[in-house]
Amino acid sequence: MTAYLITGASRDYVIVGGGPAGFVLAKQLSQDPNVKVVLLEAGPGTAGVEAIDVPGYAPSLLQTPYTWNYTCQPNPNLEGASTMLHQGRGFGGGAAVNYLGHCRGAPSVFNDWAKISGDDGLSWENFQNDFKATVHYKETPLNYDPHVNKSAYGNGPMELTSPNQDLGFTMNLIKSRTNVLKLPWVDLNDGTGFGISSSTSVIRANNRTRDYAPQAYGWQLAQRPNAQQFYNAEVTKIGFKGKRAVSVTYVDPTINVTTTLTPKEIIVAAGALNSPKLLMLSGVGPADHLKSLGIPVVADIPQVGKNLYDHHFAFMEFEVSSNLETLWQYTQNSSFKAIAEAEYRNNGSGPLGVPSGSAFALARIPDESSSSTLQSTTPNVSIIAPFVAVAQPEAAGYMKLASSDYRDQLLIYTNYYGSAGDKAAILYGYKQLRKIVADPAISPVLIREIYPGTHVTSDADLWHAITQGSSTFHHPLGTVALGTVVEGETWRVKGLEGIRVVDSSTFPNMPTCHIMATV
Ligand SMILES: Cc1cc2nc3c(=O)[nH]c(=O)nc-3n(C[C@H](O)[C@H](O)[C@H](O)COP(=O)(O)OP(=O)(O)OC[C@H]3O[C@@H](n4cnc5c(N)ncnc54)[C@H](O)[C@@H]3O)c2cc1C
């Protein structure tokens, strides 16, 4: 599939970005055989890539051609650390490389979005039907009750399942969280805002492989003569005539061919970092910033690139009984690895067939209040790394261009823990992790605390540990927000014609859980 194959009549829609948003849009729009749709994806094709298909290999996909590998600017709130922020690159976007968790979180978020955007379709009551239209839940034989509310799921193409087995530790975690956090085990997809979840994931029941956008929607596109989907097609600029978007220029770097299309309408779905990037490269953004880089201004919209939210987590590390199956054993112990791979090949069981985080909790903090730090010295141990994050951070960061060259890195200012409330929340949660691990549901298998170490007790020292042992869930959003940059209902960029943005960049603020379900 290469760029020069696109010839002939003008297209009705060009969609920029083959992530979950782009694929759903392409599938929906091309239902009408009279509407021509072209989907352009910057990254490579992803069909048949084993590291993408096997759930347990997800962490190995970072820093590969399947990710945009952005390094954020030094963050003063993290003692100057420059953290990484990866995004999916290739057919499927983030859905091809992510950790497969599917969760909708608190309804109040969507009711807020409906108010902010004036679009009642986004209220929880109305949005539920859209959620249901994208997924179905498939029951599988399990050795535990996953507490799934089946009425929360519909008949959509994406398959959701629960982890197909308790590998020996999930139940300990669920019990200890129930005891310490005093929360019930619930389904966080049915409108329940707080509770403990056993991680419903986009993993197929029959062969325990990743289910994601190109698989769920791409085959329908492939069968439609009015739809085309291209990878290795990086859009470098959107051209404007006055305030109307009229062209899309893209390059296929593998053959160094540049092509310009002139559709009737352009839909940008390039994700939370690359959608604002493309808008700014095309002259849509803060005028002073664009002028400073010599980019002619089409529309002065100061909020493009602002309002950047993300989920950032802080972790601890504990050694537990070596008979517990953990990712540490898989990465460090070659005989364990061989057994796990054989198990997965035989019947999709074992640690490779489940998501990396097999249980988590959403809790409210009281009103008053990836890389491992362990040296690889002893392969035959088991390590757990429980983590905590602020589900709805207050402080937003921002991003801007480093230059007018599309190949340059972005300047990303994350501002994690940038408010007193965010800082208090993460510190509170970090202390709760120790209590959870000390609970009798876990303490019998606990051997020792590795990170930060039991000597770390004061708030100042714990804060230092958080700044040194934290990372992102890769959930950036909000940089082309509904209400400020994009209109509700139409998703048109305000003040412009022929251009819409429809993806995670348009979320006004953070859902309280994983975010792909909402995309
Ligand atoms: C490592 C990782 C783990 C995650 N874990 C989870 C999880 O467990 N659960 C969850 O719900 N969410 C998770 N997420 C987040 C989730 O995957 C994203 O929020 C979601 O994919 C966003 O969808 P999107 O369509 O808005 O953008 P994206 O998925 O980012 O898709 C945008 C697409 O546009 C393409 N693109 C960008 N620029 C251009 C251009 N100029 N021209 C053409 N194409 C372009 C990109 O290559 C990409 O394929 C994770 C993300 C990552 C990276």
Q: pLDDT digit string (tens) for 349-375?
A: 888 998 877 788 898 887 776 445 555
The whole-number pLDDT of residue 6 equals 46
Q: Which residues are annotated as a binding site for FAD?
A: 235
* Atom 9 of ligand 1: nearest residue by CA position: 101
pLDDT for residue 466: 96
Check if 475 is active-site. yes
What is the model's pLDDT at position 350?
A: 86
Q: Residue 45 above 70 pLDDT?
A: yes
Distance 271 CA to ligand 1 centre (A): 6
Q: Which of 31-45, 143-157, 377-391 has the lowest mean pLDDT?
A: 377-391
Q: What percentage of residues in the chain have a pLDDT greater than 90?
A: 82
Q: What tens digit of pLDDT does each residue of 53-77 get?
A: 999 999 999 999 999 999 999 999 9
The best mutation among 504, 505, 507, 510 to test binding of ligand 1, ranked by most ligand atoms within 8 Å of the C-beta, falls on 504
Angle between the 107-117 and 124-134 helix axes, to the nearest 10 degrees?
110
Q: Distance between CA 321 and CA 381 in Å, rounded?
A: 7
Q: Which of 102, 311, 312, 475 is catalytic?
A: 475
Q: How many whole angstroms from 322 Cα to the centroid of ligand 1? A: 35
Q: Which of 86, 311, 312, 514 is catalytic?
A: 514
Write out residues with Cβ below 6 Å of ligand 1: 16-22, 40-43, 86-90, 93-95, 97-101, 234-235, 269-271, 274, 278, 474-475, 503-504, 514-517, 519
Asked if 482 and 275 count as a contact pair (C-beta separation under 8 A), the reply is no
Q: Is the pLDDT of residue 31 over 60?
A: yes
What's the start-to-end Cα distance of the chain, in Å?
27
Tell me the CA–centroid distance for residue 477 and ligand 1, in Å.
10
More confident residue, 391 or 378: 391
Residue 377 banded pLDDT, cuts 50, 70, 90: low
Burial 233-268 (b: 16+ CB within 10 A, else e): bbbbbbbbeeeebbbbbbbbeeeeeebebebebbbb
From the alpha carbon of 250, which atom of ligand 1 is closest? 42
- Return the structure tokens found at 212: 């994601």
Residue 9 has pLDDT above 80, yes or no: no
Residues 222 and 224: their CA atoms lie apart, in Å, by: 6
Atom 24 of ligand 1, nearest CA residue:
271
User: pLDDT band at residue 383, thresholds of 50, 70 and 90?
Assistant: confident
Indicate the pLDDT class of residue 2, thresholds 50, 70 and 90: very low
Q: How far apart are CA 97 and CA 181, in angstroms?
A: 31
Best substitution site from 23, 98, 200, 504 to test ligand 1's pocket, by max atoms within 8 Å of Cβ? 98
Residue located nearest, by CA, to atom 14 of ligand 1: 98
Give the chain's mean pLDDT: 92
In the predicted model, is pLDDT for residue 277 greater than 70? yes
What the chain holds in terms of domains, given with CATH numbers, is 106-209+307-474+502-519 (3.30.560.10)
Quote the pLDDT of residue 456.
96
Query: How does residue 3 score in pLDDT terms, banded at 50, 70 and 90?
Result: very low
- Could you tell me the strand order of the sheet in which 37-40 lies? 227-230, 37-40, 13-16, 265-268, 499-501
Residues 397/418, Cβ–Cβ less than 8 Å: yes
Average pLDDT over residues 80-105: 96
> Is the CA virtual torsion 45, 51, 55, 57 positive or negative?
negative
Task: Give the nearest ligand 1 atom to 233 CA.
Answer: 43
> Ligand 1: which of 6, 250, 472, 516 to mutate, most ligand atoms within 8 Å of CB?
516
The arithmetic mean of pLDDT across residues 123-131, rounded, is 94
CA of 472 to the centre of ligand 1 (A): 14
Rounded distance between C-alpha atoms, residue 84 and residue 473, angstroms: 11
pLDDT of residue 465: 96
Structure confidence at residue 370 (pLDDT) = 47
514 carries an active-site annotation: yes
Between strands 67-71 and 37-40, the pairing is unpaired
**Measured in angstroms, how far is the CA atom of residue 124 from the centroid of ligand 1?**
23
Query: Closest ligand 1 atom to the C-alpha of 68?
Result: 47
CA distance 24 to 213: 7
Look at residue 376 in the predicted model and tell me its pLDDT.
56
pLDDT score for 381: 82
**pLDDT score recorded for residue 333:** 86
- Ligand 1 atom nearest to 93, measured from its CA: 49
Q: Residue 95 Cα, ligand 1 centroid: separation in angstroms?
A: 6
pLDDT at 379 over 70: no
pLDDT the model gives residue 351: 86
CA of 21, closest atom in ligand 1: 25
**pLDDT of amino acid 431:** 96
How close is the Cα of 103 to the center of ligand 1, in Å?
A: 16
Question: pLDDT at residue 295 above 60?
Answer: yes
pLDDT at 4 over 90: no
CA neighbor of 100 nearest in space, from 362, 353, 330, 386: 353
Q: In the structure, what pLDDT confidence band is assigned to residue 164 with cuts at 50, 70 and 90?
A: confident
pLDDT-based confidence at residue 237 (cuts at 50, 70, 90): very high
In this prediction, residues 486-499 reach a mean pLDDT of: 97
Q: Quick one: tokens of 18? A: 């083959």
Own/partner contacts of 175-178, CB < 8 Å, gap of 24 or more, are 175/439, 175/441, 176/436, 176/437, 176/439, 176/440, 176/441, 176/442, 177/359, 177/361, 177/436
Write out the H or E segment, with its range, that includes residue 22.
Answer: helix 20-29
Helix (H/G/I), strand (E/B), else coil: 400: strand
Q: What is the pLDDT of residue 130?
A: 92
Decide if 97 contacts 88 (C-beta within 8 A): yes
Q: Whose CA is nearest to atom 47 of ligand 1?
A: 89
Residue 477 makes CB contacts below 8 A (sequence gap 6+) with 272, 308, 309, 310, 504, 505, 507, 510, 515
